Amino acid sequence: MAPTVGYMPSPPPADMPSMPLAVPPPGLTPDFEHPASNSFHVTIAVAICIPIIVILASLRMYNLLCIHRQRTVADYTFMLATVWTIIYFGLVMALLNKGLFGIHIWELRLQDLTNTPFLLVLLLESLYGPFVWLIKTSLFLLYRQIFSTKRYLQNLVWAGVIVTGLFYWSTTIAKIALCAPRGHETYIMAFATARCGRTKSLAVGSGVFNVLSDLYLIVIPIPPTWSLHMKPRKKWRLIAVFLTGILAFNASALGLHFRVDVNRSLDDTWKIMPFYLSIIVEMTAGITVLCMPSIAAIVRHHKPAVMAYFNRNSAYRNQNSNQNSSHDNENQQGTFYQMSKLRKEITTSNSQTVESQGNTRHGHMAKSSDDSAIQLRSHTPDSETLTEGPSAAAASPKI
């Protein structure tokens, strides 16, 4: 979408370079020295999306070179689309560095305009259409590879490739023809013309076509998936891979919203930043969708080894746990044995002590009995005395 310039009534030529490009809203004073900017959102998005794209593309290349080892046309279109995406992101960052877009148009003066930012915008418009076509073509060719036995799906795939190719290439050519300088025009003058302003409506039509084509890509692989001879669980997994296209569909719908917003606004140097943000998200979503089958293949390939690794670790932990438990039992048994032995020794010692005390007590009792008997003998007359006394008395004569 090419922004247009020039909303101010024509001022006197001497004052024209210092005049704002548009009348500010009531109550706002333009700040030409430190204008507000919303371009940092796009910078953050690029910083996040480029690593994601590099990682996903690396995973797909790993699957292609180390696991699948069979190249198809879809792989070449994917590699071209990835390179195209990196170039597009680089041009967006170059555009932001110029400090023109992302600023309210009433805080820009004619002297702030240069040809380079508008040249970059034209390059971005020229790259967008072919990129989207490459992404969609890669998906169509992937469907053709998966459902090679479905004749009707083959026809739908080729119809999608041809229709999308005709639309995106024709709109790209139209944008270049309408906004490229003619004759002695500069890029600033070309973008300020009425013919270049018509690309806004063309951009809205492209947004509608993006949404419809993404919906087409989501729907066509689902019916043949149910006719495949596989378990329902695997069918749902395959459908889940295809349904990742919803990411691209949502990004296209978001892009359509911002296209309409820019088309209705006069402050398009500010409004165009959310539009570029939606394109960045859309491109990243397209690369993500193309890499999901490869990620699924990598997971299937390495899942047995990963499961075996975790099973070995689990068995090792269980073995250590059993050994520790056995060692603890042995320690407990040893402790119990020692305690039993100690308890037995204590019992034996107590028994001996009690027995010794009993013997001592018995000895004292016996000695006491002997002493009592001796004392009793010493105070009691002899038996003879007791028997002789009465006889002697009886035998003695009476006087």
In this prediction, residue 338 carries a pLDDT of 57
Assign 399 to helix, strand or coil.
coil
> Which alpha helices (DSSP H) does the chain contain, by range?
40-62, 73-97, 115-146, 151-179, 187-191, 194-197, 199-219, 222-226, 232-242, 245-264, 268-379, 383-395
In this prediction, residue 302 carries a pLDDT of 86
In this prediction, residue 300 carries a pLDDT of 85
In this prediction, residue 22 carries a pLDDT of 80
Angle, helices 199-219/245-264, rounded to nearest 10 degrees: 160
Residues of the chain with pLDDT under 50: 5-13, 366-367, 372-399
**356's torsion region: left (phi>0), alpha (psi -120 to 50) or beta?**
alpha
The DSSP code sequence of 24-49 is: PPTT----SSS--B-THHHHHHHHHH
How many Cβ atoms are within 10 Å of 117's Cβ, its own excluded?
23
Assign 20 to helix, strand or coil.
strand
Q: If residue 380 lies in a helix (H) or strand (E), which one and from where to where?
A: none
How many Cβ atoms are within 10 Å of 51's Cβ, its own excluded?
9
Token code pair at residue 352: 């001996």
Token code pair at residue 367: 């000695």
Residue 275: which of 104, 41, 81 has the closest Cα? 41
Using CA atoms, how far residue 369 sits from 24, 54, 255, 377, in Å, is 133, 111, 122, 12
Q: How far apart are CA 199 and CA 206, in angstroms?
A: 10
Token code pair at residue 127: 């790259």
How long, in residues, is the chain? 399
Q: How far apart are CA 375 and CA 143, in angstroms?
A: 128
In this prediction, residue 346 carries a pLDDT of 62
Q: How far apart are CA 279 and CA 42, in angstroms?
A: 10
Residue 297: which of 68, 72, 56 has the closest Cα? 68
Token code pair at residue 118: 């508008």
Do 17 and 110 meet the contact criterion of CB atoms below 8 Å apart?
yes
For tokens 């395959």, the residue is 238
pLDDT digits (tens, 9 = 90+) for 188-227: 888 888 888 888 888 899 999 999 999 999 888 888 877 7
Residue 129: which of 181, 197, 176, 72 has the closest Cα? 176
pTM confidence score: 0.70
Burial class (CB in 10 A: 0-12, 13-18, 19+), 281: buried
